[in-house]
Amino acid sequence: MAENNQTLPPQHQEQRPGKESAMHPCPQYKAEEYKAAGKLEGKVAVITGANSGIGRAVAVVFAREGADIVLLYLDQSEDAEETRREIEKHGRRCLTLAGDVADAAFCRMVVEETLGQCGHLDVLVNNAGEQHPQERLEDISEEQWEKTFRTNIFGMFHLTKAALPSMKAGGSIINTTSVTAYKGNPKLIDYSSTRGDHCLHPLPVGQPGAARHPCQRGGAGADLDAIDPLHLQRGGGGTFRRLYAAEASGTAGGGSAGLRVSRL
């Protein structure tokens, strides 16, 4: 796929999380050059943070590959509605659910609604993330530290735990991580710590021979993978150009706002 080398001005929003609907120019997420091949035909995918950014791009590409989408978002309803319209434009169903993945009860409700309205759950993408840059460790409040961990780690745990019993063999759970997990970032200490967990979490849960674990790779459960978007343009971005899977079962690579889904 061709590289998009367009340079766009940085943008800043005081409100967090920000809203893509307030950005100009708008992020590029449709990946119109992507050639779908029906790789997810008949599948149902739950994607957290799918109202914008990476989550939106994944949701649209998955829909183009034939999946129905359960779109989770915090409170950015305008962004969520735009994503829903784009998914439905490709002839797929989209269920939108607003709530906080840090809330275990909400995560259980998501699985119940998915099974009740869609009949099954095949793919879970833990993409939602909390990020608050600070110049120094001393500037990070206890409230910020706890909120970042509750969203980025507890949320992944709650939703994965709720989804696992309903996922069949051949299902897939994908955790979006970050290059900060390996390189760190002095302004994103709490965020980097949580993304590091996303890389490690799939290994003990998905490794072959995990005794009596419902998520054994190659057994009767779902595969787990960690995907690291190396290049994300923010402020006119929403495009991820190159991805790789961190020593897990699947592969990902290449593509503007696209994800190779040959493993799913």
Respond yes or no: is residue 73 known to be catalytic: no
Contact (CB, 8 A) for 101 and 128: yes
With vertex at residue 248, the alpha carbon angle to CA 211 and CA 177, rounded to the nearest 5 degrees, is 110
Q: Measuring CA to CA, which residue among 101, 189, 215 is closest to residue 152?
A: 101
DSSP one-letter string for 189-249 = HHHHHHHHHHHHTHHHHHSTT-TT-TT-TTTTS-EEEEEEE--EETTTT-EE--EEESSSS
| Catalytic one of 29, 34, 73, 191 | 191
Alpha helices in 31-185 (DSSP H): 53-64, 77-89, 104-118, 142-149, 155-163, 180-183
Q: Which residue has the tokens 């708008």?
A: 26
Residues noted as catalytic: 191
